[in-house]
Amino acid sequence: MVSFRPHLAALILLLVATVATPSHAAVPATLVEDWLNHQSTIQTWSAEVVQTRTLKSLVQPLTATGRVWFAAPNQFRWELGDPPRTIAVRQPKRMLVIYPLLKRVEQYPLESGQTNPWRDALALLEAGFPQSRSELDARFHLRDSSTTNGVHFLQLEPRATSARRFMPLIVVGIDQSTYALRSTEIRFADGSFMRNEFVRPQSNPTLPDRAFDPALEPDWEVIQPGNP
């Protein structure tokens, strides 16, 4: 089984202030329906992202900036740093994690029908863009909701045991008036947090050429962690 390493956790996503202990309060059906109706209009999406990680071992949180692109149903590209220090690309059958400065590429297969911790984690990354209520319910328990300063917060608990062991809770922030994605926050099993705050989002933009098919230089090392 592939293990999750700290630098990869920094990329993840599916995804507020401190997350409250989840309760079993009912989530308003109209809130979820309005959110899903908005999501049905999105085929592509992009935004600048401010990522803040709060670790128990550090006094001050770590902050990084970057960009994210998404195309329905499940392709995405995350870049952190300017110029990018780390790039994560989700393709239909694999995930690439690219380190341009190191000239190194890690690839993780996402074969359908297999129990795969990467597939479970990627379901969390896609939490902000569900295509239907059945898809949302298949991946998450809706635990609770709240509204603060014009933002709805939905608390989602992963159904997959392997994902829940790593990330027990994710909170999705939704604009109260437009139902657009504003933020995601993940609570990790070790007590650390990661918040992604999306700035200047664009719905249905024209995405860069080869956004999800990055050109790799021939001298870069390509490996599949976990393989001999």
Bridge partners (DSSP) listed for residue 146: 153
Residue 1 CA to residue 3 CA, distance in Å, equals 6
Nearest alpha carbon to residue 124 among 218, 196, 55: 196
Task: Give the model confidence (pLDDT) of 87-145 as tens digits.
Answer: 989 888 888 989 999 999 998 887 655 444 455 555 555 666 777 888 888 888 888 89
Average pLDDT taken over every residue of the chain = 79
| Percent with pLDDT over 70 in the chain | 79
Residues 41-56 have pLDDT tens digits of 899 999 999 989 888 7
Identify which has the larger pLDDT, 80 or 74.
Answer: 80
Q: Which residue has the tokens 């059945």?
A: 134
Average pLDDT over residues 189-207: 91
- Hey, how many other C-beta atoms are within 10 angstroms of the C-beta on 33? 11
pLDDT at 125: 56
CATH of segment(s) 6-15+19-223: 2.50.20.10
Establish whether the linkage from the previous residue to 73 is cis, with ω within 30° of 0.
Answer: yes
Torsion of CA 181, 127, 190, 104, to 10 degrees: -90
Q: Could you tell me the residue ranges of all domains in the chain?
A: 6-15+19-223
**Residue 31, phi then psi, degrees to nearest 5:** -65, -50
What local confidence, expressed as pLDDT, does residue 28 receive?
A: 78
What is the reported pLDDT for 19? 30
